[in-house]
Structure formats: C-alpha cells, structure tokens
C-alpha cells in the first residue's frame, strides 16, 4: 500500500482544531496529529493518508474549520521504513505514577522502587511518552493507593501499556481492547515480554462491542485513552459496563475539550472526582454513582 504524508504550518490552536475535524471522519486520513518544532516554535498539522490523498477535501475541511485557505504539502512515505519505530528510537525512559517505561535500546539500570515496563516502538500507538499516557499512569497510581480493582478493562489499548501497568501492579486479569488488530497483536507480545501474558486478555473490538467484554463485566475500573470525540460517543456504553462505584479514567482530551467529555459522562451517572493536566492534555477520573 502506498502512503503519503500531508502537512501544513498552522498555529497551535488551528493545528489541533484541524486534527479534531479530520479524526471525526473516517474517509480522509489513517492518522492525524499536531506537533511543535522545538527549535523554531512553529506548529504543524500532519496527516498520513492512502496515496493519493483527497487534497480538495482537506482544503475544504480546513476552510470550514478554520475559516480560510490552507496550503498543504504532500510527500510520499517510504513503505520499507517503520517510521513509528524510527521516530521513537532513543527516547528517554518515562517515569510517571511510580511506573518506569523504557525501550529495549535503554541500557541503563532500572531504578529501584518503580514498576518497570519495557515497551518498544511498534505499529501501534502508545510507548508511554505522550502526556495522555503519563496522565493515565498517574491516575492509575492514585486509584491503586485507595483500592484494588478486580474487574478492569483498558479500551483503545494501543500497545497495551496501561493494561500491562494494571496487571503488573494488581496481579489481576485485565481486558485490553482495540479496534486495530495490529494493536491486539502488539499488546499480546508486550504482555508476554513484561511477564503478564497470562493476565492480559486482548480482544479486537469497536468500543465495548465484544462478547468477551460483555461476559466479563460489569467493571469497577474502565480506562480509555483515545480522543475526545470517540470518548463522548462511548459514554453510554461505558455507563452500561460500569458497576456502581466504578472508577473511569479518560484521556486523549485537550484541555478545552474536557468540559464536553465531563458533561457526556455526567448524563450517564458519572461524576468528576479528579482532573490531571499535562501541558495541553487533560486526564479525567470519574466515579459511577
């Protein structure tokens, strides 16, 4: 399959707004992201698309979203290179919530007193370096200081880092679900590598729509690190899957989107108990009443 990268320099707010608009559709891009060039301070919108991308559709969506014309550049991506792995090579280990997340390239000693997880770059989202993931790890740590959940699910598991974190700390089985079959395969491999292969039940599912998920509910902990739009759409399903008193940890939420997510879950009987913020990203902790 031929793949192209489409990009445009924008302001930070514009880049994130366009990411949200693109990800609300399923016909434009495989992925979309906003990032800052730390040397120049310039922000960019980027999208990875099947080749050739629908440039006219991107221009029209940008006009509707941003109110002006955006000039996009398009460049082919070499299919022989694992760009995810290349971009993450050499990343420093992450410490968050008493967890230590590192790649196989890291040769230094593992600090004592931390729960270590080896998560290598793969064709799936989630090495522990993004603020949404570290926010979830901190939220998990906060919860585990209060109580030990027994029926847990990580929705949109990516590489399985959050499910693995829960399994390592609680020694209890965790359901790990993702819509992407590559993520399911990656999660299984990472769970085995981290010594919790027997505790992780990885399933492919759209949201919570899977017999294994239904049969193992209701849950006293539901973690979902995806995006604000999908999180709001998922609220009714989470409400049905959560038992009374359950903790729900949500991330992948830009700060300006948090109120909309909180309101969507409040309508399902869940109330906000804590909010964690890292840069422009917010992680929410809610309780099912």
- Using the 8-state DSSP alphabet, how is residue 255 labeled? G
Q: In the predicted model, is pLDDT for residue 86 greater than 80?
A: no
Q: Give the pLDDT band (50/70/90) at residue 166.
A: very high
Pairing type for strands 219-225 and 152-155 reads parallel
Dist CA 49 CA 58 (whole Å): 11
pLDDT of residue 141: 96
Residue with the bigger pLDDT between 13 and 107: it is 13
**The token pair that represents 85 in the structure block:** 């792995």
pLDDT of residue 180: 86
pLDDT of residue 35: 78
CA 33 to chain centre: 12
Q: In the predicted model, is pLDDT for residue 92 greater than 80?
A: no
Q: What is the mean pLDDT of the chain?
A: 87
Q: Average of pLDDT values for 278-282?
A: 85
Dist CA 28 CA 47 (whole Å): 9
pLDDT of residue 279: 80
DSSP run (H or E) holding 145: helix 131-146
Residue with the bigger pLDDT between 17 and 269: it is 269
DSSP run (H or E) holding 87: helix 83-88
Q: What percent of the chain has pLDDT over 70?
A: 90
- Using the 8-state DSSP alphabet, how is residue 109 labeled? P
Dist CA 248 CA 22 (whole Å): 27
Q: Give the pLDDT band (50/70/90) at residue 83.
A: very low
Q: Give the pLDDT band (50/70/90) at residue 78.
A: low
Cut 0.75: pTM above it: no
DSSP run (H or E) holding 129: none
């Amino acid at each position: 399959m031929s793949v192209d990268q489409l990009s445009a320099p924008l302001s930070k707010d514009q880049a994130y707004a366009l990411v949200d608009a693109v990800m609300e559709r399923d016909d434009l891009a495989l992925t979309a992201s906003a990032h800052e060039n730390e040397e120049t301070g310039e922000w960019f919108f980027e999208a990875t698309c099947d080749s050739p991308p629908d440039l006219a559709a991107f221009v029209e969506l940008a006009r509707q979203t941003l109110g002006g014309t955006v000039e996009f550049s398009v460049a082919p991506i070499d299919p022989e290179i694992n760009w995810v792995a290349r971009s993450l090579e050499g990343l420093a280990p992450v410490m968050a919530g008493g967890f230590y997340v590192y790649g196989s390239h890291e040769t230094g000693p593992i600090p004592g007193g931390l729960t270590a997880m080896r998560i290598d770059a793969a064709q799936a989202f989630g090495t522990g370096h993004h603020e949404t993931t570290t926010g979830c790890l901190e939220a998990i740590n906060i919860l585990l200081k209060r109580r030990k959940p027994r029926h847990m699910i990580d929705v949109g598991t990516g590489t399985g880092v959050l499910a693995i974190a829960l399994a390592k700390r609680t020694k209890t089985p965790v359901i790990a679900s993702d819509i992407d079959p590559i993520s399911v395969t990656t999660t299984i491999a990472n769970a085995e590598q981290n010594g919790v292969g027997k505790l992780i039940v990885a399933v492919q599912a759209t949201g919570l729509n899977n017999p294994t998920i239904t049969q193992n509910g209701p849950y006293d902990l539901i973690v979902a690190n995806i995006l604000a739009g999908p999180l709001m759409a998922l609220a009714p399903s989470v409400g049905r899957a959560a038992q009374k008193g359950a903790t729900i940890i949500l991330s992948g939420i830009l700060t300006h989107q948090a109120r909309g997510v909180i309101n969507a879950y409040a309508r399902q009987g869940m109330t906000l108990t804590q909010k964690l913020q890292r840069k422009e990203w917010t992680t929410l902790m809610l309780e099912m009443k």
